[in-house]
Amino acid sequence: MKKYTLPVKGMNCASCSITVEKTLKKQPGVIECEVNFGNEKANITLDESKTDLPTLSKTIEPFGYSLDIEIHNHDGNNHSKGHHHTNHNTHKPGTHVMPDGTVMDNNAMDHSQHLGLNQTKDEKLQQLEKERQKVLFALPAALLMFGLMMWEISAMYIPQIPAFPIDMMIYQRVALILATVSLFWIGGEFLKEVIVFLRYRVANMYTLIGIGTFTAYVYSAFVVLFPDIAMQLSLPENAYFDVTIIVIGFVYFGKYLETRSKLKTGEAIEKLINLQAKTATVLRNGQEKEIAIEDVVSGDLIIVKPGQKIPVDGVITEGTSSIDESMITGEPIPVDKTLGEVVIGGSINKHGSFTFKATKVGADTLLAGIIRMVDEAQGSRAPIQKVADKVSEVFVPVVLVVAILSLVAWIIAGFTVMPFDQALSLGLMSFVGVLIIACPCALGLATPTAIIVGTGKGAEMGILIKNAESLEKLHSVTTIVTDKTGTLTEGRPVVTDIIILNKNITEKEVLQILGSLEKKSEHPIAHAIVEKMARENYASLEVTDFSILEGMGLTGKVKNTHYFAGNLKLMEKQRIAVNSERYKQLTDHGKTLVFLADSKTALAVIGITDTVKDTAKDTIQSLHKLGIKVVMLTGDNQKAAAFFANETGIDTVVADVLPGEKATVVKKLQEEGEIVAMVGDGVNDAPALAQADIGIAMGTGTDVAIESAQITLLKGDFSKVLKAIKLSKFTMTTIKQNLFWAFAYNIVGIPLAAGLFYPFFGVTLNPAFAGMAMALSSVSVIGNSLRLRGRRL
C-alpha cells in the first residue's frame, strides 16, 4: 500500500474534482482517494499490485484531466542521489514511510526544486501568463460591448440619451467577428468541455458556459447571416453576440483573478520551502567542501558561519551561537546554543561559527515534516465541506435541467399568454442566463481556500495542524485538559525560597555550601541549586569526603565541617530537629524542600519548584473569555495543586493522577457532554491525547512528535493553545461566510435568470450581467479567505 499526493491537471471547478475523485475511486487497486479543488491535488492510496499511477491517469484523460506523474518521477530520481553515500533508508528513494506503513511520495522535501511544488507553481505562472494574454483581448472587447449594450438599452428608456450611433447591420457584423474570436479562441476551453459532455456525459461549470455562449452565438449568427429565413420562421431579430463577448470576457477575467488569488493561498507552503538552504559546507577527509543540500548525509560534519542558514537538523559538536528559529517555531527571540544542543534545518545562525553533526536529512528533517504536514492538511477535507460536495455533485445536471425547463416554459408561454417572438427572446435569454450564472466554483472553493490559508497561517506561527477535520473540531472545544509539568510550567526546577533556620549562617554561605555539595550530584534538584549559586556569582568551595545517601540526599566536608543536604527523611535519620512551622507553607505550595544541616542542627531550608510559564496565566484568562474551562491534571498532592490552580486561575484540578489515569479523566469529561482538547507532551500523555476530541502535543525542537497528535505546538508555548483555538474560530467563520454567500448567490441568481420573477415584477437577468456576477462570485470567496492572513490571533 502506497500513498501519493499528486497535482491534477485540467480541473477548473468543484464538479471537476468530484468527477476525478469518483472515476479514480472506481478503479481496482485504489483504496482511498480524495481530490481537492482548492490546491488541485489528489491524495491517492493504492495497491500497486493491482494498478499504477500511469493507468489511473489514463482513466481520467478522456474527460480532459490528468495526474502530474512527472512530479513523482522527478522527486524520486533526484532525491535518490542524496542517499547514495549511506544505506540508512531502506525504502524506495522519493518516498517517506509514515507510522502506519504507508509511503509518502515526498522524500525530496529537502530542497524546493525537488518538492514538485515548484514545478507546479511554474506551470501555474505559465498558465497565468497565457490567461493574461487572452484577458488583454477579451476584457477590453467585453467592456466595449457592455458600454454599447448599456447605451442601446438606456436610449430606449431615457429620452436625454442620444440614439445608438452605429448602423445596426454594421454593428452586428463587427460583433459577429468579435464574438467568433471570443468564442473559438478565448472560449475554446469551454467548447472542449461541451464536446466531452456530448461524448462521455460528464459536465462541469465550463460545460454550462460553453453551451450557453455557443447557443447565443449560433442563434445570433443564424439571424444575422440568414435574415430572410429567420423572418419566415418568425424568429426575434435580436442578435446576442454582445452576450457571448461579454460573458466570455468577464468569465475569463474572473478565471484569471481566481488563478492569481489561488497562488496566494499557497504562499505559506512556499515560504516554508524557501527556508531550506541550497548548499552546505561539510568537512570530508579534513577538507571543507561546499556541496548541494541533497548530497548531505546523516553523520556529515557541517560548518555554519554567521548569517548562514542551517542546512539540516543536527547536534553541535564545536562552538556556540545564537540562532534565529522564528521562521520554524514562531518564537521571535534568538536561542543561544552550545555544545551538544540540537539545531534545526532552515533556522538562521545569527552570531558565532560552529560545527554540527547532521542527524536528520532529507524527508526526516523537522522542516520537511512541517512542510509535509501542512501540505497534507491543506489537501484534506473538513466535515463542513460535505454539504457543498453533495450539492456540487448534482449541481451541473440540475442546472442543465433548469435551463431547458425555463426555455420550454417560455416557448409554451409564447403559444398561450404572449407574442411568440417575445417569449422566444426571453426564453433564449433565460436559457443562456441560467447556464452562465450557475457557479459550482464558489461552492467548491468556499471551504478549501479557507483551510489552505488557515493551516498556512498556523504553520507560520509554529502551530502545526494535521488535517482540516482537526481545525474544524477545535473551534467547538468547551474544555481544555492540560498536564502541569512542562505545559503550564517551564519543566525545570528553580530555587524560589531560602529560609535561614540558624542565625549563625548567612544566605550566601548557605548557597555556597549547598551549591558546592550539589555540584557533585546529577539530580535535577542539584542543578537548580548550582544554577542559583552561579547566578549570584558565588564561588564554589572545595568538598571532601563526599557521598550520596540514596533516596535521602548527600553529605560531605566543607572547610572541615561535616554537612548534610537532603530531604526531611535525612534530617530524621540524623536526629536533627526541624520546626515544621518554618517550612509548612512551602510544602502547602507544592515546593520540594532541601534541608542543610551540620552534624547537630538544621541551618536552612530551600524551596525548589517548577516555575509557571509567563504566558500561562494570561492564556487561561483569555480562554475563560472564550467560554472555555481549563482542567489541570497533576501528580502533586491536593493542597499543592489547589495553590497552583489559585495562582493561575485554573477552574478544576485533578490531583494525585498517575499517567495512565489521565485518559479516564478525559473520558469522564466527555461523558458529561464536554468537547475536550487534551494538551500534553505527546509521549507520556499519549493515551489521553488519543482519547480526547483533539490532541494537542507540546513539541520542542526536533524531538517534536509531529505524528502523535492532531495539533502540534512547536517550542511548547501554552499561549499557542489560545492562538490555535482563535485560528480555528476565524477559519470556521470564514468558511461559513463563504458557504452562505455561495449558496445565496446561486439560490437567488438561478431563479432570477430563469425568469421566475418576470410575471410578478417584470424583472429578468441579462446574461451579460449573469457573466459578471458569476466571475465575481469565485473571486469574492477567495478574497474573503485571504482576509484570514491579516487576522491577529
C-alpha to C-alpha distance for 366 and 783, rounded to whole angstroms: 32
Name the pairing type of β-strands 711-713 and 463-465: antiparallel
C-alpha to C-alpha distance for 283 and 300, rounded to whole angstroms: 7
C-alpha to C-alpha distance for 656 and 672, rounded to whole angstroms: 22
In whole angstroms, how far apart are CA 618 and each of 221, 613, 627, 729? 71, 10, 15, 19
* Residues 55, 59, 61, 64, CA torsion sign: negative
Q: How many residues does the chain have?
A: 793
C-alpha to C-alpha distance for 140 and 143, rounded to whole angstroms: 5
DSSP string, 612-670: EPTTHHHHHHHHHHTT-EEEEE-SS-HHHHHHHHHHHT-SEEE-S--GGGHHHHHHHHH
Say which amino acid occupies 420: F
Burial class (CB in 10 A: 0-12, 13-18, 19+), 546: middle
Burial class (CB in 10 A: 0-12, 13-18, 19+), 28: exposed
Burial class (CB in 10 A: 0-12, 13-18, 19+), 169: exposed
Q: Which residues pair with 479 in a beta bridge?
A: 629, 676
Q: Within 485-543, where are the H helices?
A: 507-518, 524-535
* Residues 477, 478, 484, 487, CA torsion sign: positive
Phi, psi of 317 (to 5 degrees): -110, -15
Using an 8 Å Cβ cutoff, are 569 and 536 in contact? no
Name the pairing type of β-strands 313-319 and 342-343: antiparallel
Radius of gyration of the chain (CA): 35
Angle between helices 168-181 and 117-157 (to 10 degrees): 170
Contact residues for 386 (Cβ-Cβ < 8 A; gap 6+): none
**Active-site residue 483, yes or no?**
yes
Which member of 295, 313, 375, 483 is catalytic? 483
Neighbours of 535 (CB within 10 A): 11
DSSP string, 245-307: HHHHHHHHHHHHHHHHHHHHHTHHHHHHHHTS-SEEEEEETTEEEEEEGGG--TT-EEEE-TT
In whole angstroms, how far apart are CA 276 and each of 10, 271, 325, 365, 366? 30, 9, 13, 10, 11
Catalytic positions: 483
